[in-house]
Amino acid sequence: MILGEMMMNNKNVLGKMLTGDDLFMEYKNSPEIEWLIEGVLTCNSLNILAAASNVGKSFLILDLVKALCSEDEKFMGLFNVKNNSKVMFIDGEDTSLNIGRRLFMLGCYDKGSTFKSSNLLYPKNSIVRLNHLESLLELADYCNQNNVDLVVFDSFAVYCGGDESSNSQMALVSQNLSIFRSRCKSAVILLNHIRKTMGGTSNAKNPITLNDIRGASAIGAMVDSAFGIQKFNGYCRLRTIKSRQLSTQNWLDRCYVLDNNGLEETHKNYRCFYEMLEDQNNDDDFIKSKIIEFVSKYSGCSTSDIVNHIKGKTQRVVDLLKELLAEDNPIIEMKKLGKKNVYSVIESEGE
């Protein structure tokens, strides 16, 4: 008798039957969601971060590691995280020397930093494989014993242990990770690449989708959340691709700058920082308000200063700036300073 027939003979095929009322009560009585990154990523979840090569996936994750392992830091300067967490960073694409160097670049060891280096675990030369259940269970036991909150695999291609293009092999990986989660409280982030054939990887208007993630469709299907990074105009855009916990209107959409000026000259000048990018779908009045806000704060700024601050399309920002100057009762004015146009807010006369 085959295994499937044995299971059918020994178990109720339908399992436990629930009504809509039961489902509501189950939801109502469930514990509150525990966030690793508030409003973005939950504890004990399976997640994937995908991007093209050399976009900065590892730096972004290490910046998250810095926030999680610190006493009071926020991720991207915006999101509350579960501080004082323990993170295991399993890396098969870089050296331990470079990981240490990158943490130094991120300011983890600066004077006054609240980063707790002992909260970061780095298993050098790890041979754990996602298609090998025994090694995953050993990892789960270690994480439980050491209260590890997050396990990062960099990258999925290295640690999947099989052909990532095979749905049958990735289904086995999915099954193993499901068992891992049931045995371990740690969240998991898998770093992966996108397909080289994907068009518009540098175009923010063509966001990465689950289908663009390299490998079999089973990879995207097994995760609770998926995120994509695209680099354009010197900026990186981090977007939610999939989330089982959040409605689409609450999905993450943030832009940041990875500033590595002077990286080769002196590591101390390097910092990873993030900025919000004004969405090109915002209406004209909103963009105008941002122009006025900037000119009010930085009187004497130039056209290029305004364009660089708004981070929108240059011509659109310039056109809206001209409209502001041409209004019947303009709020800002433009004057010549040598060859440069400078802007300031028109001071209103007192009553």
Q: Which domains does the chain have, with CATH numbers?
A: 33-274 (3.40.50.300), 284-345 (1.10.10.10)
Residue with tokens 């939801």, as numbered in its chain = 27
Say what the alpha-carbon torsion angle 114, 117, 119, 125 is, to the nearest 10 degrees.
Answer: 150
Q: What count of Cα atoms within 13 Å lies in the side-chain half-sphere of residue 28?
A: 6
Phi-psi region of 22 (alpha: psi -120 to 50; beta: other; left: phi over 0): alpha
Of the candidates 45, 32, 68, the one whose C-alpha atom is nearest the C-alpha of residue 184 is 45
* pLDDT band of 5, cuts 50, 70, 90: low
Segment 68-82 shows an average pLDDT of 92
Predicted pLDDT of residue 313:
67
Q: Comparing 4 with 236, which gets the higher pLDDT? A: 236
Predicted pLDDT of residue 180:
96
Under DSSP, the state recorded for 53 is T
Say if residues 115 and 109 touch (Cβ distance below 8 Å). yes
Query: What 3-state DSSP class applies to 75?
Result: strand
Residues 6+ apart with CB under 8 A from 335: 341, 342, 343, 344
Please provide the average confidence, as pLDDT, over all residues in the chain. Answer: 84
* pLDDT band of 290, cuts 50, 70, 90: confident
Report the distance separating Cα 324 and Cα 326, nearest Å: 5
Residue with tokens 């590892």, as numbered in its chain = 58
pLDDT at 14 over 70: yes
E strand or H helix that includes residue 321: helix 314-325
pLDDT at 271 over 60: no
Q: Which residues are registered as beta bridge partners of 254?
A: 238
pLDDT at 113 over 60: yes
Read off the pTM: 0.73
pLDDT at 345 over 80: yes
Q: Comparing 282 with 213, which gets the higher pLDDT? A: 213
Choose from 70-74, 138-142, 214-218 the range with maximum mean pLDDT: 138-142
* pLDDT band of 198, cuts 50, 70, 90: low
Predicted pLDDT of residue 25:
94
Phi, psi of 251 (to 5 degrees): -65, 150
